[in-house]
Amino acid sequence: MKSKILLLEDDYNLSETVCEYFEEEGFDVVCVHDGDDALSKIYEQNFDLLLLDVNVPKKSGFEVLKEVRASGKTTPAIFITSLNSMSSLEEGFLSGCDDYIRKPFEIKELLLRVQTLIKKEFSNKNEVVEISPNVTFNTISNELKSSNEEIKLNLKELKLLKFFLQNPNELLSHERIYDFVWDYDEEYSDNSLRTYIKNLRKILGKDKIVSFKKLGYRFIQE
């Protein structure tokens, strides 16, 4: 599964350039051009990272991220802006951003910042996370390998694995899992979740995912 990015940028030429570049680098990019549309997409879909221009119609990038953070979402965010005063920089971080890049910028620099933040989400400085002695997961390419052979997961299983890796040793409620793994317009079921958990246990080891009756699941990572 590709890492998914939301790009909020009202400069259509820049938006197209960034979108094409990141798609060539293996990302899935959703492009929007105003703050209201950005919020709608963020609440409808799950993203691995938000790229937000500050000066956009309807709601500014600052306002968008403040609302996102107020809703409890912690998706990493980078502001793209031509503002260069210290006050705007401070406002950006106070609204909950993780990084900041000023126009004009080298698109390669933006790519490196994006890759760094996405890797950081896994609380691991390495690109490859060792889940168990024989099982690894690449946080950039989303490749799961067992004994150095790639294991194919379906989309839901892969999203579930990413969610566990982002929240190791934490009891995750069924509701949180449903919100992350299923999109807002999809129907979820306990049976489907149990099936995905069962399949992951076969690969990762049955003791890696602990179930708590009526509460949720915990992914064990030493």
- Per-residue pLDDT of 3-53, as tens digits, reads 899 999 999 999 999 999 999 999 999 999 999 999 999 998 889 999 999
| Domain range enclosing 161 | 128-219
pLDDT of residue 197: 95
pLDDT band at 170 (very low <50, low <70, confident <90, very high): confident
- Sort strands 135-138 and 144-146 into parallel, antiparallel or unpaired: antiparallel
For residue 123, the model assigns a pLDDT of 53
pLDDT confidence of residue 11: 92
Cα–Cα distance, 40 to 91 (Å, whole number): 23
Domain match, 151 and 66 both: no
Q: What is the pLDDT of residues 78-105, one digit of tens each?
A: 988 876 655 666 677 777 787 888 888 8
Residues 70 and 141 in one domain: no
Q: Answer whether 68's CB lies under 8 Å from 42's CB.
A: yes
Q: Are residues 115 and 8 in the same domain?
A: yes
Same domain, 73 and 144: no
Same-domain check for residues 148 and 203? yes
Sheet holding 77-81, edge to edge: 28-32, 4-8, 49-53, 77-81, 99-102
CATH number at residue 147: 1.10.10.10
46 with 77, same domain: the answer is yes
> How many domains does one find in the chain?
2
Predicted local distance difference test score (pLDDT) of residue 124: 47
CATH of the domain at 90: 3.40.50.2300
Q: Give the Cα separation of 144 and 158 in Å (integer).
A: 9
Greater pLDDT, 107 or 118:
107
Q: Indicate the angle between helix axes 174-181 and 190-204, nearest 10 degrees.
A: 90
Distance of alpha carbon 209 from its chain centroid, rounded? 21
**pTM over 0.75, yes/no:** no
Q: Looking at 91, 120, 149, which one is the last position of a domain?
A: 120
